[in-house]
Structures are given as C-alpha cells and as structure tokens.
Amino acid sequence: MITTIAGNSSKIFNGETGTAIGVSIDPTRVAVGSAGAIYVTDQFNDRIRKLVVQVPATMTISSGDAQSGPPGTSLSIAVKVADATGIPVGNVVVSFAVSTGTASLSAGTATTGGDGTATIQLTLGATVGALKITAAAAGLSGVTFNLTVTQPVITVPMPTITSGGVEGAALSVPAVQALSTGGIASVFGINFGGGAGFVKVGSSDLVNGQVPTNFQGVCVTVGGASAPIFGASQTQVNFQVPAVTAGTAMVQVITGCGTANPLTSNAVAITTQAATPEFFYFVQSANGINPVAATDAISGIGIAAANLFPGSGFAPAYPNEYVTVYATGFGATTPAIAPGAFPTQLASATGTVTVTLGGVAIPAANVLYAGVTPESPGLYQVNLLIPATTPNGNLPLTIQIGSQQSPAGAYLTVQGN
C-alpha cells in the first residue's frame, strides 16, 4: 500500500509551511534525520523541505452549522483539523453520524485534505425539527452540527394549457383554432381543478338564469373577459366565447377562481374573427370525416346512416326533407344574444350564409334559417330543405358565414333518389 505523505501534485511554489500534503513540492532526494524528521530536496523551488510528524490537536466546525431546509434538501458540512500551532492536518479520518433526527449521509467517514478539512454531503430526512450530526476523530474532542428540518414545502400544481390546446368544441380534424363571439370552445391542459371526470354545469349552477363564469372555482378568460363555463375537468374546460373583435386574444384558465389565492395558467394566443362555423358530429374519426349531428326538422328523428346506431331509428336524409343541422361559431346574430344567456327566440346570423351539399351550393331559398338554437347558449343550427335533385351518398356538407367556412370533413348521409 502506498500512502502520500507530502505534496499536492503540483511543483509550483505555494507556501513555506503547512500540512505536508497541502504544500507544492518537486522532490528529487529524500533523507531521514536522527530525530525522525524527513528531509526532501525541492528542486524546482530551490529548497530543502523538512517534514515532521503533525499531531492533530483540535477539530472545529469549518462550515455548514445552523443550516435548515425542508425534507429532501441537500446540504454540505465540513470540519477542520489542526495541530497545536493551528496548521491544518491532513490524512485524519473523521467519522460522521446522526445523533438526533433523520438524515442520510453521503458517507460515514471522510479524510482531511491538504487544507485540514473533511467534508460530507447529507440529505435532510422526513422528521421535522432538530437534527444533530456529530463528527469524531481519534484523540480529538468531537463537534456537533445543529441543523433544522423545516416543514415540507407544499407545491401547488399550476394550471397549464397545452400547446395548441384551444379549439372549437366540435373537435374537428383539423381543429378550428380560432374563436368568435358566442361560439363554444374547449381548452385542454393539466391541473384545471375540475376533478378527474368531466362535470357539466347543472341548473343549480346557473347565476341569475345564465351560464356561470365561475364553475366550481374554475374560470376562463379570453382577452381578459370572463367566459361562461359549460363544464370542466382536470384536463378540459368547455366555455362560450365572450364578445371579441377580430385579431388575437389571450386565453387563460384560472383555478381557485374567486378565492384569496387563485392560480392562473400560461396565456395562449389565439386568432379571433367574426365567425368560426363548425358542425357538431354524431361520431368522430381520426381522419376528420364525420357524420354531422342532424335531425328531421319536423319529427326530430336523427339523420344518419341506418347502421350508425343500430336500433335507434336513425335514417338517412332524403330529397325534399326538412333537416336541422347543429353547429357552433356562427358569430353575431340579429337580435344580439349575450354570451351566457339562454336564447328565448330565433336569432339569425348576421353574416352572409352559403351552404354546399355534395359540392353543390344549396339554393338560398332552401336555406331556411341559420342562427342560434333557442334555449341553448352557444349552439347554432341551420335549417335546410334538401333539394329534390340531391344524389345518394355520404355527401360533404359545408357552411360559410361571411368569409369563414366550416371544416371539410363533415358529411350528411342522403338516400332516396
């Protein structure tokens, strides 16, 4: 076994005295005196070094006393060993142990270096209160570090909207990532505070007969304005867009809304425009080609392929049938309906309406109504008379309000000719 008794791996002069392993030496010859001293020629520094046995005399706390922190905090503590003249002593083994409280030590022992210090790391344990760490070395009086473990830090999860997490509530593919006054939209993310399962607003949650803007402590703001909330979970909030103008608005989710300590999510910028038409669907597929939610305007029977919901009584549309198709995002209406209010009458979209079925524009005379659905905030509908010449099939259906067109994947099933 080889043990280094002098030198610090450098020959550049750094001092005349001190613990031998802390002094720079360029050794070339070694001799032992009659009294046991070791003499070393230090060629680079033009000296003869005399090494004598150091006797450790004191051990003191060098650093790390009186620290504190919550459980799991990592700390460093160190002691220093010196001889009677105050010169640091190296190669002294120091033992560390927990005497009070809980902590995990990086090592039970550490050896002093050239500066006479021995250092270990420790991690504070779960026991809140006093923590004492003792340090001991042979022939020396021990020392005690007095530390404190404080109460754990309670981390409150912040609500966070995911990238691209604001879109039309019909969840078209590709998504309608724009908002318009009165439309229904969804925001997705984490830590929204609504519970694991999606909870819808009930009649008892209404405020003065209107959809609440604070639902179970969850709020959404669009451009700083509070949005009526239809339902929420930890990862999704459905809301009605408050009044916006064309441009860009910042969307945020607030948890603990209305309390002394609300938490506000990151702000996500989204385009705002006059209309964002989007049909709702009976089912949704990954490719975005979906049957629209439609009913016979007279009987109320669902309109779709007969095998879509076996036994439901659903049937395809047919020529000369009056059909209602449900959607959102038609924008402003006449008369105006305030977001959050339950429409008590029909209110037509103010933008110019164009509907195509199977790639062919439906005559304006066959587009009987496009506007809000009474008693359903945020829900719009278009009432059509299916033209007599309409062919059979799953026919693409689009609606354009002003300059904005609905997603291309929607279709209406027609059978009759």
For the chain (417 residues), the mean pLDDT of every run of 10, in chain order, is 70 67 73 69 76 86 97 97 92 96 97 94 96 97 97 90 97 96 98 90 96 97 98 97 97 96 96 98 96 97 95 95 98 97 97 97 98 98 97 98 97 91
Please list the residues that pair with 219 across neighbouring strands: 254
Give the model's pLDDT for residue 371.
Answer: 98
| CA gap 344, 335 in Å, rounded | 11
Q: How far apart are CA 392 and CA 417, in angstroms?
A: 6
Task: Say how many residues make up the chain.
Answer: 417
Distance CA 376, CA 383 (A): 16
Question: For residues 65 and 81, is the Cβ–Cβ distance under 8 A?
Answer: no
The confidence score (pLDDT) of residue 169 equals 97
Domains in the chain with CATH codes: 1-53 (no CATH), 58-149 (2.60.40.10), 160-272 (2.60.40.10), 278-414 (no CATH)
Distance CA 192, CA 194 (A): 6
Q: Which residues, listed in sequence order, are joined to residue 148 by a DSSP beta bridge?
A: 68, 130
- CA–centroid distance for 46 within its chain: 65
- For residue 385, the tally of other CB atoms under 10 A from its CB is 17
How many Å is the Cα radius of gyration of the chain? 39
What integer pLDDT is reported at residue 262 of this predicted model? 95
Residue (of 354, 369, 379, 278) closest to 322 by Cα position: 369
3-state secondary structure of 161: strand
Amino acid at 194: G
Sequence-distant (6+) residues with CB within 8 A of 354 are: 361, 367, 399, 400
How many other C-beta atoms can be found within 10 angstroms of the C-beta atom of residue 3?
Answer: 6
Round to whole Å and give the CA distance between 215 and 161.
18
What are all long-range contacts of 348-355, with beta carbons under 8 Å and residues at least 24 apart? 349/275, 349/380, 349/401, 351/274, 351/275, 351/401, 351/402, 351/404, 352/400, 352/401, 352/402, 353/382, 353/399, 353/400, 353/401, 354/399, 354/400, 355/382, 355/384, 355/397, 355/398, 355/399, 355/400
The answer for 390, left when phi > 0, alpha when psi is -120 to 50, beta otherwise, is: beta
Beta carbons within 8 Å of 284's beta carbon, 6+ residues apart: 171, 173, 290
Distance CA 30, CA 225 (A): 85
| β-bridge pairing 290-291 and 410-414 | parallel
Whole-angstrom CA distances from 392 to 199, 253, 308 are 40, 45, 16
Instruction: Write phi, then psi, for 79 (nearest 5 degrees).
Output: -120, 160
62 sits in which H/E element: strand 58-63
- φ and ψ of 372, to 5 deg: -70, 155
Give the whole-angstrom CA distance, residue 250 versus residue 270.
Answer: 6
Task: Return the structure tokens found at 107.
Answer: 């090592």
Determine the pLDDT at residue 5.
Answer: 65
Residue 99, number of CB atoms within 10 A of its CB: 11
